[in-house]
Structure formats: C-alpha cells, structure tokens
Amino acid sequence: GLDVAFRSGLYIDATASRFKKTGQRAFHFNGKLFGLGVPLTVTETPLEVTVGYRHQAPRSRVVPYFGAGLGIYRYQETPDGDDLSENVDRRHAGYLAVGGVEFRVSRWVGLSGDLQYTRVPGILGDGGISKEVNENNLGGVALRFRTIIGR
C-alpha cells in the first residue's frame, strides 16, 4: 500500500491485497456442513482507497488515526477440474471504516495496529451455501498490523 500524509493531519491510503485459501466444496443440510471432497480455491483481491485524519501531537511518538473509504473487491472460486462453468469470478464495490494507532519507532520507521470494518454487500448470496444461509456480505472486521517506512 501507499500512504500520503499531509501536515494538516489529512491522509490518503491506497491498498491492494490478496487472500487465497484452499479447501473443498461443501453441502449445507439442516444447519450442518458436509465436505464433498471436491478441491476448491477461493481468492479475494481488494483494491481500497481510504481518506482519514491522523492526530500527531508535537514530540509525540503515538499517532491515533481514523478514516473511511471505498473499494473494489474481486471474489473468485476455482474448483479443481476441467468444468469451467463452476468457476465464480465477481467484482463489487464496498466501503470501509478504520481506526488505529501508529507508534513512531524513529523518524523513518513506524509500527501501526488498527481495526478495519469492511462491508461488501451483494457479492455473495446468489447461489450455493451463501444463498442457503442468507450470507451476502463479503466484508467483516479485520485486525491489521503494519510496518511503515517513511515520515
């Protein structure tokens, strides 16, 4: 990602990330999940832009921040096998809110921890287990830690 922080406290953050998990297709029946033994890879690729405010008191190494933003989220399901009709590849817009604290280790190095809430409605829920359990939000809450290089 890339952060641009201004002297006024305003910051802009652009982030690209990727999550990939391998598992298996499942079947939902009477509130229970049953694995089907069909290998499946799920990949999520978010591109997010956040605008927020950082409050850095003079001579303080602790910098609290908060922000809100928008993102484009790509969701893919790729089962093993030759049947490409079972592949899922969707993109959807979502939004996020973030708050955290940065600790300046030195003038050029910082460490941060934050909590991010993301909501991506409508990308799930059209079929499969997500439809059966009425799940249509790809988002959720994430705890993030970062190393920051720069002032």
Report how far residue 151's alpha carbon sits from residue 11's, in angstroms, rounded to the nearest whole number. Answer: 12
Q: Which of 39-43, 45-49, 73-77 has the highest mean pLDDT?
A: 45-49
Q: Which amino acid is at 121?
A: P
> Which residue in this structure is represented by tokens 């939902």?
28
The string over 55-86, giving b where at least 16 C-beta atoms fall within 10 Å of a residue's C-beta and e elsewhere, is ebeeeeeebebebebebebebeebbeeeeeee
51 vs 84, higher pLDDT? 51
Report how far residue 123's alpha carbon sits from residue 79's, in angstroms, rounded to the nearest whole number. Answer: 18
> What is the arithmetic mean of pLDDT over 121-127?
79
The string over 90-105, giving b where at least 16 C-beta atoms fall within 10 Å of a residue's C-beta and e elsewhere, is eeeebbbebebebebe
Least confident of 24-28, 58-62, 71-75: 24-28
